[in-house]
Amino acid sequence: MKLLMAANWKMFKKLDEAALYAKELAKLAQNLPPDREVALFAPFTALRVCADNLGASVALGGQNCYPAAQGAFTGEISPDMLLDCGCSHVLAGHSERRSIFGEDDAFIGKKCAFALSSGLKVLLCIGERLEERDKGLLKTVLERQLSGDLSAVPDTVSDGDLAIAYEPVWAIGTGRVAKAADILEAHAVIRAFLERRFPALGKKMRILYGGSVKPENAAEIIALDNVNGVLVGGASLQIDGFSRIVLAGNA
Ligand code: 13P
């Protein structure tokens, strides 16, 4: 299973910055170590210019989509529109969507199933809040999110079409990266769930870590058991920093 090194720009970058970055990332992707792949989750407005500049070696994804083919959903974007802009991937369940926009597991579940059935690959983000962790609820929260968010996903989903990003809410944008033991514990919970939920394929699905990943800590994180890549926010905004993350630990 190859590592997936993914950038999530969140609500950053206008067209000119996006184009420059995408050109640089495309160059980097020409000489990737054979054990890894790169994906970029860009804002909707920058998707087309990214698609035009990335080339085939970098996967492009939207940060969100609405679970309907089309219709009267002002301000929303369908999976088909993402495909039309050159996307192969979409994020679902990011903690910022959950906490700022009130998305719950039932809605995220619809989104995952609809996006997959539309032909997008889904990177589902889950993670506990600090107060949940402090109450010893890590496993409960992760399993509740996974079971709700994946409830309508067919058992036969391809292992390449679905990946999970473990992003502890307290580590996102805080500079406070989870300790190795925390990441190992959470990823083991997720792996066990995936193996139960998708008996044939769960062991082959990628589990990424996200939350204050930096060039300085990426190598240690991707060396951990059951860590199959990273999802990077702040440190992905500069191409130099993200390039160092993409190449992290590569001898
Ligand atoms: P940071 O890397 O800025 O902590 O953000 C992580 C994240 O939310 C990626 O989706």
Mean pLDDT throughout 203-216?
97
The residue to mutate among 8, 41, 123, 221, having the most atoms of ligand 1 within 8 angstroms of its beta carbon, is 8
Residue 10 in contact with ligand 1 by CB distance below 6 A: no
Comparing 159 with 126, the larger pLDDT belongs to 126
Mean pLDDT throughout 164-188?
94
Residue 177 in contact with ligand 1 by CB distance below 6 A: no
Residue 231 in contact with ligand 1 by CB distance below 6 A: yes
Give tens-digit pLDDT for 11-29.
999 999 999 999 999 999 9
Instruction: Provide the pLDDT confidence category of residue 251 given band limits of 50, 70 and 90.
Output: low
CA distance 116 to 206: 16
Q: Is the dihedral of CA 99, 105, 110, 111 positive or negative?
A: positive
Mean pLDDT throughout 193-215?
96
Q: For the chain, which residues make up each domain, given as ranges?
A: 3-246
Torsion, Cα of 163, 245, 212, 159 (10° steps)? 0
Position 175 scores a pLDDT of 84
138 CA to centre of ligand 1 in angstroms: 19
Residue 167 in contact with ligand 1 by CB distance below 6 A: yes
Position 209 scores a pLDDT of 98
Position 188 scores a pLDDT of 98
* 94 annotated active-site: yes
Backbone angles phi, psi at 124, to 5 degrees: -90, 125
Position 23 scores a pLDDT of 98
Nearest Cα neighbor of 54 from 71, 77, 37, 34 is 37
3-class SS string, the chain: CCEEEEEECCCCCCHHHHHHHHHHHHHHHCCCCCCEEEEEECCHHHHHHHHHHHCCCEEEEECCCCCCCCCCCCCCCCHHHHHHCCCCEEEECCHHHHHHHCCCHHHHHHHHHHHHHHCCEEEEEECCCHHHHHCCCHHHHHHHHHHHHCCCCCCCCCCCCEEEEECCHHHCCCCCCCCHHHHHHHHHHHHHHHHHHCCCCHHHCCEEEECCCCCCCHHHHHCCCCCCEEEECHHHCCHHHHHHHHCCCCC
Position 250 scores a pLDDT of 85
Residue percentage of the chain with pLDDT more than 70:
100
Is the per-residue pLDDT at 177 higher than 90?
A: no
Q: Give me the helix-helix angle, 47-54 and 15-29, nearest 10°.
A: 30
The residue to mutate among 216, 232, 242, 244, having the most atoms of ligand 1 within 8 angstroms of its beta carbon, is 232
Q: Point out the ligand 1 atom lying closest to the alpha carbon of residue 173.
A: 4
- Provide CATH code, domain 3-246: 3.20.20.70
* 167 annotated active-site: yes
Catalytic residue among 94, 96, 103, 187: 94
Give tens-digit pLDDT for 25-74.
999 999 999 999 999 999 999 999 999 999 899 999 999 999 999 999 99
